[in-house]
Chains A and B, each alone.
Chain A
């Protein structure tokens, strides 16, 4: 029985993740169009809603090109390494508390309830560097190689700030378990959300959001792709479904990072003024909060120009890392004083 429940949960969560990723490809084009006074895709299905489906079909039927001189095995490994870690991380995100659907007790609405949930997310998002760097190297193309190198250097640098900022939350809530992190914040008073912790919370939230932008290679930090300089960066030589996998990986990583920001700083599934909300309200709240961050990803992309590469590295090492460290120290001081 518990096995069946896990299967159902898995189907729900992964269906949701892939659905969100697909919807994001449409949302990206729609929102960018709206911001540029255009209309955006509106031909496939009502209002263009079936555009992701059309894109998927197109990707499947595209010719698959492997460049001459590419290292075949690693070339194939690249997209897999980009997509799989991003998809795995969703397993520990709690979407709602105790859930009962049609009288069946589903327990916590997340695939697993790991004690080290946060660490699991960070470890796997660290592994997603490999997609870009391996794909870039194996393509046997200068643009791809440069894109891959940039991606890896950037992600390794920003991972430090990401971990330090996440540690601030761990210190505030006294646990690495994502469920417990949410439960600490779920008191019915939304001022208990970590983003409302004076100074520490706000600095942490801003730092965390910006570092997730860098971690997922999104604008204004998308040096791995950087069309004007590197054609397409690490996926220049990829086509067909392999390219689609890179895309899927990017959007899944964005979704997971938006979920994680929600869990860490916005109280996850906790509903303001309603501590014991039914699961469906909690899921709705969670999705609303996550949707805001997903929108922010797109919003920032179509607002800000790309950084310069040295600016990115300076920002990561000389600004974000010290601030994150100081913030962690401040959090420690606040906790030990209170």
Chain B
């Protein structure tokens, strides 16, 4: 049952990931990406990481993809069919670079998967029987051994937020210039 569910979830996320690249319509791509995230969340759930699954949906599904949608909708990307005709298919060099990046990423992943000694069974709770509650375990790991990395990440995020604000503010300080830019764009 768990295996079957895993294959369903994995299949959904892989197919949706393909759909992201293949769809002509950007909004459809975003929806495909959302489907992919939901599939990944399901895999987390199967592996017993309820918290991670919920966070995956909450942060990626609920917030980040909405922002993506926002940007896609606000940008006037024109009629997708016309765009596809104008741009035509990818050039040979582009295709080669893309394939090379994807292929090397796949190779690295395969090597990593083969060489890592995964615990058995992979699915079901990874935590010791009757021992740690997954949520508690995660919290203890996060604020125990990994507290420095955790806080470091939060500082990084803060820096990003401040940076974005500064950039946005600078643009607004000269409204005329900003307006002109918008018109010319």
Residues of A within 8 A of B (CB): 71, 73-74, 77, 114-116, 119-120, 122-127, 129-130, 133-134, 137-138, 145, 148-149, 152-153, 155-156, 159, 176
Q: Is B55 an interface residue (CB 8 A)?
A: yes
A71 x B67 contact (CB < 8 A): no
A126 x B57 contact (CB < 8 A): yes
With A74-B27, A126-B58, A127-B61 already in contact, the answer to whether A137 and B50 are too (CB < 8 A) is no
**Count, A-B residue pairs, CB within 8 A:** 74
Q: Is B7 an interface residue (CB 8 A)?
A: no
With A74-B28, A115-B133 already in contact, the answer to whether A123 and B66 are too (CB < 8 A) is no
* Across-interface contacts of B134 in A (CB, < 8 A): 115
A172 to chain B, nearest CB (A): 16
User: Can you spell out 23 A-B residue pairs with CB atoms less than 8 angstroms apart?
Assistant: A71-B28, A74-B27, A74-B31, A115-B51, A115-B133, A115-B134, A119-B54, A119-B58, A120-B54, A122-B58, A123-B54, A123-B61, A123-B62, A126-B61, A126-B62, A127-B61, A129-B66, A130-B66, A130-B69, A133-B70, A145-B73, A155-B66, A156-B63
Bound Cα distance A152, B55 (Å): 19
Bound Cα distance A72, B27 (Å): 13
A123 to chain B, nearest CB (A): 4
Which B residue sits closest to A163, measured CB to CB?
Answer: B58
B70 x A124 contact (CB < 8 A): no
Bound Cα distance A115, B52 (Å): 12
B147 to chain A, nearest CB (A): 16
A149 x B73 contact (CB < 8 A): yes
Which A residue sits closest to B49, measured CB to CB?
Answer: A116
* A116-B50, A137-B69, A149-B73 known, 14 other contacts, Cβ within 8 Å: A71-B25, A119-B55, A123-B57, A126-B61, A126-B62, A126-B63, A127-B57, A130-B34, A130-B69, A133-B66, A137-B73, A153-B70, A156-B62, A159-B63
* Across-interface contacts of A127 in B (CB, < 8 A): 57, 61-62
A53 to chain B, nearest CB (A): 34
Which A residue sits closest to B54, measured CB to CB?
Answer: A119
8 Å CB contacts to A: which residues of B116-151? Answer: 133-135
A175 to chain B, nearest CB (A): 9
Q: Binding site of A, secondary structure by majority: helix, strand, loop or mixed? A: helix
* Across-interface contacts of B34 in A (CB, < 8 A): 130
B51 x A119 contact (CB < 8 A): yes
* Across-interface contacts of A133 in B (CB, < 8 A): 66, 69-70, 73
Chain B: interface residue total (CB-CB under 8 A): 23
Name B50's contact: one of A115, A153, A155, A159 (CB within 8 Å).
A115
Bound Cα distance A120, B58 (Å): 8
A152 x B54 contact (CB < 8 A): no
* Across-interface contacts of B66 in A (CB, < 8 A): 129-130, 133, 152, 155-156
Bound Cα distance A155, B67 (Å): 12
B31 x A77 contact (CB < 8 A): yes
Bound Cα distance A129, B70 (Å): 12
Bound Cα distance A302, B61 (Å): 33
With A152-B69, A152-B70, A159-B62 already in contact, the answer to whether A116 and B57 are too (CB < 8 A) is no
B111 to chain A, nearest CB (A): 34
Bound Cα distance A152, B168 (Å): 21
With A123-B57, A126-B61, A152-B70 already in contact, the answer to whether A116 and B135 are too (CB < 8 A) is yes
Interface pairs A-B: 6 shortest CB-CB: A126-B62, A123-B58, A119-B54, A123-B57, A123-B54, A116-B50
Bound Cα distance A13, B98 (Å): 51
